[in-house]
Amino acid sequence: MSDAIKTLEGLEAVAGGASVAVAMDTPREPERDALGRSYATGKRKDAVARVWIKPGSGKVTVNGKEMTAYFARPVLQMILRQPFSVAGVEGQFDVMATVKGGGLSGQAGAVKHGISKALQLYEPSLRGALKAAGFLTRDSRVVERKKFGKRKARRSFQFSKR
Model confidence pLDDT, tens digit, residues 69-110: 999 999 999 999 999 999 999 999 999 999 999 999 999 999
> Across the strands, what pairs with 12?
21
CA nearest neighbour of 116 among 98, 136, 99, 97: 136
DSSP conformational letter for 124 = G
Is 17 exposed, middle or buried (CB count within 10 Å of its CB: 0-12, 13-18, 19+)?
Answer: exposed
Give the Cα separation of 61 and 53 in Å (integer). 10
Model confidence pLDDT, tens digit, residues 128-145: 999 999 999 999 999 999
Give the Cα separation of 47 and 45 in Å (integer). 6
User: Looking at domain 38-132, which CATH architecture does it have?
Assistant: 2-Layer Sandwich (3.30)
Model confidence pLDDT, tens digit, residues 109-130: 999 999 999 999 999 999 999 9
The lowest-confidence range among 2-6, 16-20, 75-79, 87-91 is 2-6
The ranges assigned to domains in the chain are 38-132
Is 94 exposed, middle or buried (CB count within 10 Å of its CB: 0-12, 13-18, 19+)?
Answer: middle
- Which residue would you say has higher pLDDT here, 107 or 5? 107
Q: Which residues contact 49 (CB under 8 A, 6 or more apart)?
A: 41, 42, 43, 97, 98, 99, 107, 110, 111, 113, 114
